[in-house]
Structure 1
Amino acid sequence: MTEYPRVVVNLEKIRDNVKFLTKKCYESQIDVVGVTKVFSGSLEMAKVLVEGGVKYLGDSRVKNLKKYKNLDVPKVMIRLPMRSQIKEVIKHVDISLNSEISTIALLNEEAGKQGKVHKIILMIELGDLREGVLPEDVECYMDQLNSMKNIKLEGIGVNLTCYGGIIPSFENLEKLEIISNLIEGKYNLKLNIISGGNSSSLDLLWNNNMPPKINNLRLGESLIFGRETAYGKDLEGCFHDSVKLEVEIIELKEKKSYPVGEIGVNAFGEKPVFIDRGKRKRAILAIGKQDVDHSNLETMDEKLIILGSSSDHLVVDVTDSKIKYKVGDIVGFKLNYGSLLQLTTSPYVKKTW
């Protein structure tokens, strides 16, 4: 018997997306870090990304990167290392993103103990206000990095859009070029990686407006959904329906649409708001906030209305649908990056390839 709820993944569509996007990037001399975190370290997905042409595999968790030890591509840790995991980073990660000189010093010390030279990408703050060294502090960092024998500065990078929503532009990515020229000129070294951000930078590539020295992008959402993330536009030539969620109906009844009695806070400390539509046919589905935020779901049946959820239940109005639903039926949902990330992390949701 099929197990629900489940995320259904079409690996062939994702493989085609990866091949298309890596080819598009390589035509502009841009290498791709395939970001795997949205599938919680799935080896199957990592293999698809490598087969599709990514040059690196990237993840924010060492635990996930460890699973890829037999895949012959460099492993990139895309979240700044914690001090508590320095040994694991040196042991299992080829390149890590960094912005704290004290952490880099610990990586240098541990790399020496393990007889390794650890590569880093120094992240630069260019306005999004997540991780990154302020541009005016770069030379101070470089003076200290030059004394670390077991650290190799592989390149510099930037994060945009993820936190502050700052859109990549020729102007802000050109600042990364200027900083790379400063480093290479003053310190007589070659930076192999100039990482111009994530899937939100693809709009610049599509419009031939990428600064010429940018040679690396860290792509995740675009590979899965075929979508750039600066403006949320679907990319022509990609599949946009490679994943879906299927959930089973466990109750189906006609009930009032407005609760009866005094309304207080719900199980999550929120005071809910309801619209009185009279009596409606309502389905309860076997999934909840423990697995996914319902605001990140979209029903495949456009006539359904998602009303809300508790920890283990999702309530959906099915009154206007042409489909005559019954208990035990399966309801399909379109996903976005946020919902897929949550669902694949939940141990209560089956993953089907």
Structure 2
Amino acid sequence: MYPRLEVNIQKIKENTKLLVEKCRKENIEVAAVTKVYCALPEVVEALEDTGIKYIADSRIQNLKKLKHINLPKVLLRIPMMSEIEELVQYVDISLNSEIEVIKKIDQEARKINKVQNIALMVDLGDLREGYFKEEELFECVSQVLNLKNINLIGLGTNLTCYGAIIPSRENTQRLASLSREIENRFNIKLSFVSGGNSSSLHLIDKEDMPKEITNLRLGEAIALGRETAYGDKIKGAHQDAFKLVCEIVELKEKPSLPIGEIGMDAFGNKPVYEDRGIRKRAIIGIGKQDINVCGIIPLDTKIDILGASSDHLILDVTESDIEYKVGDKVEFNLEYGGLMAAATSEYVTKIFV
């Protein structure tokens, strides 16, 4: 069935083991982030014996289907009030930034006689989630320590995902300093100090990672073999563990400039075209409902992606050395956005190789 996402589980395992060892040398434990491929159980099950410490995902729906995996589950997205009843059943650690939500977790955990682990998020300047003002963070800690069914295990931060702020020695050191101050001020021990995601890996290479950091949450680094601060390939890692394969449904020579008055396309945009004369155009059976067009890269480097509608992707194959025919397959490597969309789409078949 096409289009399909081909998943090389062995390459993902090898990437994971490589990163676990890289982090282990710095006394850092790895939380494998599974959200980009929708926590496909076939993949996550293969990661159990790679040395990862946690499974992490942004959606409780994904963590629910991984309940048979004997590793602590971390909920990455700060919890919604409406999902806390499920949270206390299926999540071992949640990342939080609102005391009212934490109090609600405490109430629900008390109902099932469970102590729920949490980490408090700190905003180091990326301006997504987390406490920005230190005094508010300390006040939250003070209140949390009075909740009988909440166990504060640490702090976390997130960088590059919204504001694109790159992790540095300076900003991660602030997280480290806050963890020490909380330990001293409240006489507690924080075992989980999560210094970010795949964008923090470069700090290990530069020997700039503060020693207080005990955890990294790695998603793209495992799935695509790239760090995400600068987009560099990780030495020794695979970048092609996921591949998108699509089928050609039409192949014709046509003008490159549409004929007639140009209005809005199906998505409300007014496109601009370049007149390149008559070109050989292939249409493949996938579209914007299935993928992020900007997040796929043809393996045939002489193919140009012209655009897409909901259901069709239009390619210029004029310069290709391959004599494509209707029914032939076109393969793509994936960037993060392309993988996330293809994995999420129920119209893209998943194949494990």
- Name the TM-score class by shorter chain: over 0.9
Shift of 1:136: 3.2
- The match for 1:19 is 17
The one-character-per-residue Cα deviations of 1:238-279 (angstroms, maximum 9, x if unpaired) are 111111110000000000000000000001000011110000
- Cα distance between partner residues in 1 of 2:146 and 2:208: 37
The answer to whether 1:61 aligns with 2:62 is no
- Aligned positions, number: 351
Normalised by the length of structure 1, the TM-score is 0.98
Shift of 1:61: 0.7
Return 5+ residue gaps in structure 2 as ranges.
none
- In structure 1, C-alpha distance between the alignment counterparts of 2:255 and 2:308, rounded to whole Å: 16
- 1:19 aligned counterpart, secondary structure: helix
Deviation at 1:49, TM superposition (A): 2.1
Write the distance in 2 (CA, Å) between the matches of 1:240 and 1:286: 24
Q: Which amino acid aligns with 1:145?
A: V
Report the CA distance between 1:302 and its aligned residue: 0.6
Report Cα offsets for 1:197-216 as digits up to 9, x if no partner: 00000000112110111010
Show the counterpart of 1:263.
262
2:227 aligned residue: 228
For the 8 Å contact 2:160–2:229, the answer to whether it is kept is yes
Query: Stretches of 4+ moved more than 4 A in 1?
Result: none
Query: 1:8 maps to which residue?
Result: 6
Aligned to 2:313: 314
* 1:93 partner letter: V
Q: 2:218 aligned with 1:219, yes or no?
A: yes
| Corresponding position of 1:305 | 304
Whole-Å separation in 1 of the counterparts to 2:230 and 2:113: 45
Is 2:296–2:333's contact at 8 Å kept on the other side of the alignment? Answer: yes
Amino acid at match of 2:297: E
Alignment of 1:273-284 (within 5 A): 273-284=272-283
> Per the alignment, in what secondary structure is the counterpart of residue 276 of structure 2?
coil
2:202 counterpart residue number: 203
Q: TM-score, normalised by structure 2?
A: 0.98
Measured after TM superposition, the shift of residue 90 of structure 1 is 0.3
Which residue of 89, 92, 104 maps to 1:91?
89
User: Offset at 1:44?
Assistant: 1.1
The one-letter amino acid of 2:239's match is H
| Distance apart, 1:159 and its partner CA | 0.2
Report matched runs for 1:102-117 at 5 Å. 102-117=100-115
Instruction: Give the structure 1 partner of residue 177 of structure 2.
Output: 178
What 5-or-longer segments of structure 1 have no aligned partner? none
118-127 or 49-58, which deviates more: 49-58
Aligned to 1:127: 125
- The equivalent residue for 1:241 is 240
Does the 8 Å CA contact 2:106/2:148 hold for their aligned counterparts? yes
* Cα separation, 2, equivalents of 1:271 and 1:30: 49
Percent of aligned positions that are identical:
52
Instruction: Give the match's secondary structure for 1:52.
Output: coil
Q: Which secondary structure state, in structure 2, belongs to the residue aligned with residue 174 of structure 1?
A: helix
Equivalent residue in structure 2 for 1:82, among 55, 80, 83:
80
- 2:159 corresponds in structure 1 to 160
Distance 1:41 1:77 in 2: 13
- For 1:304-346, what per-residue CA distance to the aligned partner results, in whole angstroms no more than 9, with x for missing partners? 1100000000000000001000100000111011110100000
- Measured after TM superposition, the shift of residue 41 of structure 1 is 2.2
Q: Distance in 2 between matches of 1:208 and 1:97?
A: 27
Equivalent residues in 2 for 1:46-57, closer than 5 Å: 46-57=44-55
